């Protein structure tokens, strides 16, 4: 049974369908692993064992009757603690929301439950999801799979850690500027940032509603495909025969390689070579307005985040980690006219990007230009925290600013990843390309 802890969600689902895995035994195995782990308290904010066992028992009965609801019926996963869960506290990683208990599930959680998936519990995150580092001294900082002294990536830190440490078959997170992809890359996982609006945000604690998205962190592209389909209530993309032969890809040189560290660049360069060897044609492109778009971030993100949370933050500012609190306060003095103008400019850049990349099947960037930084230093050195956070999110934020769907896959060099970016509405193509890339890089 211990081998179940490292299997993909899809393989567990196939085992259940074949009668080789009992969902109740599977859920108990994960719950026992969580109980036995010396890091689980840093990963899970709270567990839902009664719910999990009831869902597993129902899945077992459906499997016995041959009426399973989805390929992942009976598979246990974790949920970032900003997805509302009926009767169970949802606190979004902040003491500001302590003891907040919603009365209904977030819509994506409700859809996953209807498809037979088992909810193990809620995972830790950065306060209100506003940092890419995953450091949270106010509640807990989950351990990086490679070195517990290094940052796990955020804000979906616990979602990544639960999967990487074998304490869930997959984790569901959110991504506003990189919060699925950063913890995925630093823990050698696949992360899928869906296009804005592709998955519903009903019952999801907001950060920046115009950028917020939902996405899975998992072991394979196949898992990401199945999880996304369940939450979207659509058929999964057909990944059979996925190939890179004849595909035209573009490496975005603008901004994405500035100040990049050696390991992320080496991992990316090696990955691109292997994609070419698998038949892809790869061009290098410069899009100067990407740098201009990135310069809009200090206006767009903090203004909306602070506008959403200012009353609660200022009513109890000492309840927050100062570095995260000051990120919110960065939006305090942004004028309404500047905010509107920034969005109008960004919309123009998005249209220009769409035109300039239309000939490509996907655009490629290194998922993160730096390696995971040290947690202790991040907690004590403000300048280091600010610089590390900005660099951490710089490449992932390109996808959010341009309104794209993005998948990051591991390069094979630990804690480094390559991201494939496409226009919204082309998620099926993205998943097929990512499947082919995963195969080429494995």
> Annotated active-site positions, please?
80, 155, 179
User: Nearest CA to 330 among 204, 208, 162, 161?
Assistant: 208
Q: Are 326 and 202 a contacting pair, CB within 8 Å?
A: no
Query: Which token pair is 336?
Result: 């309404």
Cα 271 from Cα 262, distance rounded (Å): 14
CA 216/CA 419 separation, integer angstroms: 15
Residues 6+ apart with CB under 8 A from 176: 129, 130, 155, 207, 208, 211, 212, 213, 301, 400
CA distance linking residue 276 with residue 373, whole number of Å = 31
Integer CA distances (angstroms), 294 to 113, 345, 381, 391, in order: 38, 11, 25, 12
Instruction: Count Cα atoms within 13 angstroms, Cβ side, for 81.
Output: 33
Query: With contact defined as beta carbons under 8 Å apart, do 131 and 96 qualify?
Result: no
């Amino acid at each position: 049974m211990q081998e179940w802890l490292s299997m993909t969600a899809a393989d567990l689902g196939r085992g259940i369908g074949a009668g080789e895995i009992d969902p109740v035994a599977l859920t108990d195995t994960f719950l026992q692993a969580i109980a036995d782990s010396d890091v689980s308290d840093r990963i899970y904010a709270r567990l839902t064992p009664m719910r999990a066992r009831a869902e597993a028992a129902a899945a077992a009965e459906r499997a016995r009757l041959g009426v399973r609801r989805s390929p992942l019926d009976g598979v246990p996963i974790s949920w970032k603690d900003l997805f509302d869960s009926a009767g169970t506290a949802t606190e979004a990683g902040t003491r500001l929301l302590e003891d907040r208990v919603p009365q209904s599930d977030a819509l994506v959680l409700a859809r996953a439950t209807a498809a037979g998936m088992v909810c193990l519990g809620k995972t830790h995150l950065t306060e209100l999801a506003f940092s890419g580092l995953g450091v949270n001294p106010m509640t807990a900082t989950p351990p990086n799979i490679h070195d517990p002294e290094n940052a796990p990536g955020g804000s979906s830190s616990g979602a990544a850690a639960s999967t990487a440490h074998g304490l869930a078959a997959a984790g569901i997170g959110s991504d506003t500027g990189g919060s699925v992809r950063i913890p995925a890359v630093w823990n050698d996982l696949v992360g899928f940032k869906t296009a804005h609006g592709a998955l519903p945000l009903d019952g999801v604690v907001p950060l920046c509603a115009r950028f917020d998205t939902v996405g899975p962190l998992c072991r394979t592209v196949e898992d990401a495909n199945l999880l996304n389909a369940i939450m979207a209530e659509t058929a999964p993309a057909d990944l059979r025969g996925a190939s890179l032969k004849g595909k035209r890809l573009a490496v975005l040189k603008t901004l994405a390689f500035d100040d990049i560290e050696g390991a992320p660049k080496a991992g990316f360069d090696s990955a691109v070579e292997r994609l070419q060897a698998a038949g892809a044609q790869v061009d290098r492109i410069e899009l100067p307005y990407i740098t201009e778009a990135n310069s809009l971030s200090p206006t767009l993100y903090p203004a909306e985040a602070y506008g959403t949370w200012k009353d609660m933050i200022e009513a109890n500012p000492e309840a927050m980690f100062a570095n995260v609190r000051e990120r919110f306060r960065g939006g305090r003095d942004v004028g309404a006219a500047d905010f509107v103008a920034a969005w109008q400019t960004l919309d123009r850049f998005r249209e220009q990007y769409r035109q300039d990349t239309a000939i490509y099947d996907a655009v490629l960037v290194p998922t993160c230009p730096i390696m995971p930084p040290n947690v202790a230093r991040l907690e004590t050195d403000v300048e280091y925290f600010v610089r590390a956070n900005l660099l951490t999110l710089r490449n992932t934020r390109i996808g959010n600013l341009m309104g794209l769907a993005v998948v990051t896959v591991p390069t094979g060099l630990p804690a480094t990843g390559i991201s494939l970016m496409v226009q919204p509405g082309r998620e099926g193509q993205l998943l097929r390309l990512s499947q082919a890339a995963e195969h080429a890089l494995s």
